[in-house]
Chain A
Amino acid sequence: MSTNGKSPSTLNTFECVRCGLTVTVNAPDGVRRNHCPSCLHSLHVLDRVEGGPSECRARMIPISIAVLRTGEWMLIHRCTRCGELTSNPICGDDNQLILMRMAVRPLAQPPFPLEAFGDL
């Protein structure tokens, strides 16, 4: 513990590649975050298939939300350069409007008419 009452790890920050927001690495609830809480974009620094660091370092866009059996929400990112998919848990301060926009987007563009489900 340093003299100003904060451990050095809480002072680590990164800059969002899309919106330029300076973000602390540790979220308020203590978990390590990997995406910007404002625009939810991320950076491809970890290779999920092989494990370890990735050389890609391209921007990753959030494409969907997955709800696990435990009720936890996962954010699924896709790399704009190599197309790799990653999933990460959401943080408490993530932009909820963008989260909801991703959740309702499939229902806004259904491939089949949803009226038929009213009869079920």
Chain B
Amino acid sequence: MPRRNPGRERPQRRKKAQHAEPGDAFRCVGCRLDVPMSAPGTAHRNHCPHCLTSLHLDHRVPGDRRAGCRGRMAALSVTVRPDGEWLIIHCCQSCGGLSANRIAGDDNALALLRIAMRPLSDSRLPVSALLSL
């Protein structure tokens, strides 16, 4: 799907060192898809573009690879930076840790939209607050 490109205001942080893991691809723990490390639009791919599942490898700093957990991280929600970039918030299924990562250009648009629509499809009270405006 074509992406809107509003022009990047915020340059990405450069990688300090190459990670220990060899190879240029990883296999998704959710859907077993072989995913190349290079992604359009981001230098820090950490989740599967098909099912958006990630793996709990980083501890506090993104890229530090110091988490001993290695649990599966499911996409929990979507948030937007002030400049309009979407971030996926992942939640570790085994320890409950949270992390945020920018979406890549080839991420599944339907899966992203499903997560973004989840609060709105809930027919609970806050929707009535919006309708009463």
Could you tell me which A residues sit within 8 Å of B by CB distance? Answer: 48-49, 63-67, 71, 73-74, 76, 78, 84-87, 96-97, 99-100, 102-107, 109-114, 116-117, 120
Contact = CB atoms under 8 A, between A and B. Distances in A.
Contacts of A104: 120, 130
Interface residues of B, number: 36
Contacts of A103: 119-120, 126
Interface-centre pick from B1, B79, B99, B120 (highest chain A CB count, 10 A): B79
A96 B125 CA distance: 8
Contact of A111 (B4, B125, B127, B129): B4
B98 A106 contact: no
Nearest to B5: A111
Nearest to B126: A96
Interface residues of chain A: helix, strand, loop or mixed (majority): mixed
Contacts of B86: 106, 109, 111
Nearest to A108: B80
A110 B60 CA distance: 29
A85 B124 CA distance: 25
Given A64-B78, A111-B86, A86 B129 contact: no
Nearest to B84: A109
Given A106-B116, A110-B4, A76 B89 contact: yes
A64 B89 contact: yes
